[in-house]
Chains A and B, each alone.
Chain A
Amino acid sequence: MKKIPPFKFRLYVAGDGPHSTQAIANLDALCREHLPERHEIEVVDVLREPQRALADRVMLTPLLLKLSPAPIRRIVGSLSQRASVLQTLGLPA
């Protein structure tokens, strides 16, 4: 089996509203299923750390940043459309 480098994610959410909790849950489920033991997730709350959101130009939430492997990808939304997310991350459905 080909060695796949670990995936680094940064997920921006706004507080604990429905979109935020949905996005966290969806990402969690996706990683457990497709990237077991090969993922790191950092969740950033824009309400607490607006400066970081500014630095990453986050205007819409939730927003998922795939930092590595390159290239960087940005996915906006609650990540409920899994097929689209997997395609963007370059993972087989």
Chain B
Amino acid sequence: MKGKPPMKLKKLSAALSAKARTGIAGFDEITQGGLPGGRTTLLEGGPGSGKTLMALQTLVNGARLDNEPGIFVAFEESTERIAANAENFGWDLAALREKKLFLLDAQQSPDLVQAGDFTLDGMLAVLAAKVREIKARRIVFDALDVLLALLNDPVAERREMFRLHEWLLAQGLSAVITCKAGGPANQAAPEPQLSFMQFMVDCAVVLNQEMVQGVSQRNLRVVKYRGSAFSENEAPFLFGEAGLEVAGARDLGGLSRPDGPVSTERVSSGVARLDAMLDGGYYRGASVLITGFPGTAKSTLSGAFSEAACLRGERTLFISFDSDANEVVRNLASVNIRLERFVKKGLLRLVSARAATGSAEIHLMQIKHLAQVHRARCVVIDPVSSLCKSGNENTAHNVAERLLNWTKAEGITLVCTSLLDEAAQQVASTPLQVSTIADTWIHLNYLVHAGERNRGLSIVKSRGTAHSNQERELILSKDGVTLADAYTAGGEVLMGTLRWEKERAMQGAQDKREAVKKVAEATLEAEEALLEVRLKAVQLELEVKRGERQALNRSAADRTSDLARGQTQLQELRGVDEK
């Protein structure tokens, strides 16, 4: 049946096709499809805010992904410099420039003299010819403010902006105009030309860079978008290896990203008894949080999980913010968690991010990138609380949340640890509030009792899992990691020596019970034997009696036959006549 697509879907696809997707990770989600197709977008931001790169990236992606040729008009930088910058992101402009991308060097020489009125007609004529030649669908005017400044007259500036806009609409080009905006302080009162441009265009995006306690934070915001819904919030972004990447906040009920698949498969935590406590292990694709004070073996549990994952043959990424990769291997080897073999095999990627600096956002992007490159099915982040180092307090929570959302959508099983400040005693909540969104939360702590400090493990929560509510003792030895039952006596959990003593006492009682049982068994055995002997004797007696009776019967029969024979002989002797 050649059914027509439902009307709703048709409308939706028509609306989407009217957008020029940018191919910039995250940005197309925020704008629900990209920039307005055949219309003009203003990209404003301070120096170094990433306007030029973002604009160029939309052209490169348009040419690559949608086969839409584009023209880049550079007013401020030489085309060579722009191309060189682009090479850092592996965009391969050289190949594109042959047919699909034209870079127009429109810098005006500094010794240009003005003598009277002028217009942008020359540029529009040149561009019109070029648009026809390469069948361009997209165009970028980078740093248009530089050109407009030459006009040196607000009225002329407006007139030329208006003409440019009309020309763009007539050509049906998807255009991006970048323009310098002052710093954050100036944004309250933008320059008149800028505000006119904001009014004129169909879509306006502001790029921002600010320093928060010495950490650079970049974000962008869609200010307006005629005829389209968009996310109005500031979205953090960074320059990744392939260009701009925008952290698209997941909207409530957003279309852009469906829920990830939910698995009922269990994966081992690497500690057999912990699996038992969790009714089989962690769920595949779950996010697990291990909290605890320093030295409570958080890293060890993460290591055990990694080893188990590698033993299953699953590619695993282990990111340590605390130690060097070699230290992680060495430290875990001391408790018989041997990771080196998997590192050598390439199954396990150990990354030390100890010296890494940057915003939480950058860390998240890097983690994502590493996981994608490694094709990891399991990811360990030790500790995730490193994300909220100085300057990141505001964004770290959001970042952690998106990290968890992302691993869930990808079906990656995530184990992250979080350091708790012993002094603060923040047991009920972790600094990032990851605990509220994590699927399984395991808490490790020390129990100090009778002069000993022992490690305790308890499962605070585990969604969708029947789990033990008892605190266990975590035992690390050169043979590995295991859990021991904790005894409760008088309402207190016994660990360490106390547990050992209790175990010994229990063992003694057990031994005694077994001895008693052995005696009882022996007695019964003897009685049984006696009865068996008696049974045998009676059986023998029975045999004898039977024999006697048989003998008796036989002698009686013999007598009868003897008697008959005797009569015959007598008759013969007497000569009895035959009848």
A58 CA / B114 CA spacing, docked (Å): 14
The verdict on B115 contacting chain A, using a C-beta distance below 8 Å, is yes
Chain-B contact segment, one of A1-9, A35-43, A73-81: A73-81
A residues near B108, Cβ cutoff 8 Å: 59-60
Contact partner of B122 (CB less than 8 A), chosen from A26, A63, A85, is A63
A51's partner among B112, B115, B119, B129 (CB-CB below 8 A) is B129
Residues of A within 8 A of B119 (CB): 14, 17, 19, 60-61
Please, which residue of chain A has its CB at the minimum distance from the CB of B104?
A: A54
For residues 178 through 224 of chain B, which have their beta carbon under 8 Å from a beta carbon of chain A? none
Q: Within 8 Å of chain A (Cβ to Cβ): is B423? A: no
A14 adjacent to B122 (CB under 8 Å): yes
Q: How far is the CA of A11 from the CA of B117 in the complex (A)?
A: 15
Asked whether any CB of chain A lies closer than 8 Å to the CB of B150, the reply is yes
Say which size band chain A's interface belongs to: 20 to 34
What 0/1 pattern do residues 114 to 133 of B give for CB contact below 8 A with A?
Answer: 11111111110110111000
B105 within 8 A of A: yes
B329 at the interface (CB under 8 A from A): no
B114, A77: Cβ atoms closer than 8 Å: yes
Judge whether B129 and A50 touch: CB under 8 Å.
yes
Contact yes or no, A74 B113, CB < 8 A: yes
* Residues A59 and B114 in contact, CB atoms below 8 Å apart: no
Contacts of A19 in B (CB 8 A): 116-119, 121
In the complex, A57 Cα to B105 Cα: how many Å? 7
Contacts of A53 in B (CB 8 A): 122, 125-126
For residue B333, CB closer than 8 A to chain A, the reply is no
CB pair A57 B112 closer than 8 Å = no
Contact yes or no, A76 B114, CB < 8 A: yes
Q: Is the CB of A14 within 8 A of B125?
A: yes
CA distance A51 to B106 in the complex (A): 14
- The interface residues of chain A lying within 8 Å CB-to-CB of B128 are 50
The CA-CA distance from A77 to B119 in the complex, in Å, is: 8
CB pair B126–A23 under 8 Å, yes or no, is no
Is B147 part of the binding interface, using a Cβ–Cβ cutoff of 8 Å? yes
A45 to chain B, nearest CB (A): 9
Compute how far the CA of A11 lies from the CA of B129 in the bound complex, rounded to whole angstroms.
19
Partner of B116, one of A17, A50, A74, A80: A80
Check: B111 CB closer than 8 A to any chain A CB.
yes
Cα-based distance from A54 to B134 in the complex (angstroms):
15
Residues of B within 8 A of A58 (CB): 122-123, 126
C-alpha spacing A78/B109, complex, angstroms: 18
Say yes or no: B126 contacts A88, CB within 8 Å. no
Distance in angstroms between the alpha carbons of A80 and B108 in the assembled complex: 21
Residue A67 is within 8 A (CB to CB) of chain B in the complex? no
B116 and A77: CB pair below 8 A?
yes
Kindly list chain A residues whose C-beta atoms are within 8 Å of the C-beta of B123.
58-60
Interface residues on B, range: 20 to 34
With a CB–CB cut-off of 8 A, which chain B residues contact A63?
118, 122
Task: Check A12 against B117 for contact (C-beta < 8 Å).
Answer: no
A14-B125, A46-B126, A74-B111 are contacts. A60–B116 as well, Cβ < 8 Å? no
Tell me whether B122 and A59 are in contact (CB under 8 A): yes
Q: Is the interface of A mostly helix, strand, loop or mixed?
A: mixed
What is the distance, in angstroms, from B156's C-beta to the closest C-beta of chain A?
A: 11
- B109 surroundings in chain A (CB, below 8 A): 74
Do A79 and B122 contact each other (CB < 8 Å), given the known contacts A54-B129, A59-B106, A74-B109?
Answer: no
B115 adjacent to A61 (CB under 8 Å):
no
Considering the complex, give the chain B residue whose CB is closest to the CB of A60.
B118
Most chain B beta-carbon contacts within 10 A, residue among A12, A14, A59, A80? A59
Task: Assess the A46–B125 pair: CB atoms within 8 A.
Answer: yes
Q: How far is the CB of B148 from chain A (nearest CB, A)?
A: 11
- Whether A80 lies near B117 (C-beta < 8 A) is yes
Neighbouring A residues of B118 by C-beta, 8 Å: 19, 60-63, 76-78
Q: Which residues of B contact A17 (CB under 8 A)?
A: 119, 121
A76 — which chain B residues lie within 8 A by C-beta? Answer: 112-115, 118, 150
- Complex contact A75–B113 (CB within 8 A): yes
The reply to whether B115 and A80 form a contact with Cβ atoms under 8 Å apart is: yes
Residues of A within 8 A of B111 (CB): 73-74
A77 to B118, CA, bound (A): 4
A84 at the interface (CB under 8 A from B): yes
Q: Whole-angstrom distance from the CB of A14 to the nearest CB of chain B? A: 3
> A60 to B120, Cβ gap below 8 A?
yes
Cα distance, A53 to B193, chains bound together (Å): 27
Q: How far is the CB of B159 from chain A (nearest CB, A)?
A: 12
Contacts of A50 in B (CB 8 A): 125-126, 128-130
Q: Is A47 an interface residue (CB 8 A)?
A: yes
Separation in Å of the B287 CB from the closest CB of chain A? 55
- Measured between beta carbons, the chain B residues less than 8 angstroms from A54 are 104, 126, 129-130
| Cα separation A9 to B316 with both chains bound (whole Å) | 70
In the complex, which residue of chain A has the Cβ closest to the Cβ of B121?
A: A14
B117, closest chain A residue (CB): A78
Of all chain A residues, which has the CB nearest B147?
A59
Known: A59-B108, A77-B118. A47 touches B113 (CB 8 A): no
Chain A residues with CB below 8 A from B106, complex form: 57, 59
Minimum Cβ distance to chain B for residue A92 (Å) = 17
- Beyond the given pairs A47-B121, A81-B115, 18 more chain A to chain B contacts, judged by CB atoms under 8 angstroms and listed by A's residue number, are A12-B122, A17-B119, A53-B125, A53-B126, A54-B129, A58-B122, A58-B123, A59-B120, A59-B122, A61-B120, A62-B118, A73-B111, A74-B111, A76-B150, A78-B115, A78-B118, A79-B115, A82-B115
6 tightest CB-CB pairs across the interface, nearest first?
A14-B121, A77-B116, A78-B116, A50-B129, A61-B122, A80-B116
Q: List 26 A-B contacts (CB under 8 A).
A: A14-B125, A15-B121, A19-B121, A51-B129, A58-B123, A58-B126, A59-B126, A59-B147, A60-B122, A60-B150, A61-B118, A61-B119, A61-B120, A61-B121, A61-B125, A75-B113, A75-B115, A76-B113, A76-B114, A78-B115, A78-B116, A78-B118, A80-B116, A80-B117, A84-B114, A85-B113
**Interface positions of A (Cβ within 8 A of B):** 12, 14-15, 17, 19, 22-23, 26, 46-47, 50-51, 53-54, 57-63, 73-82, 84-85, 88
Chain B positions within 8 Å of A, measured between CB atoms, are: 104-109, 111-123, 125-126, 128-130, 147, 150
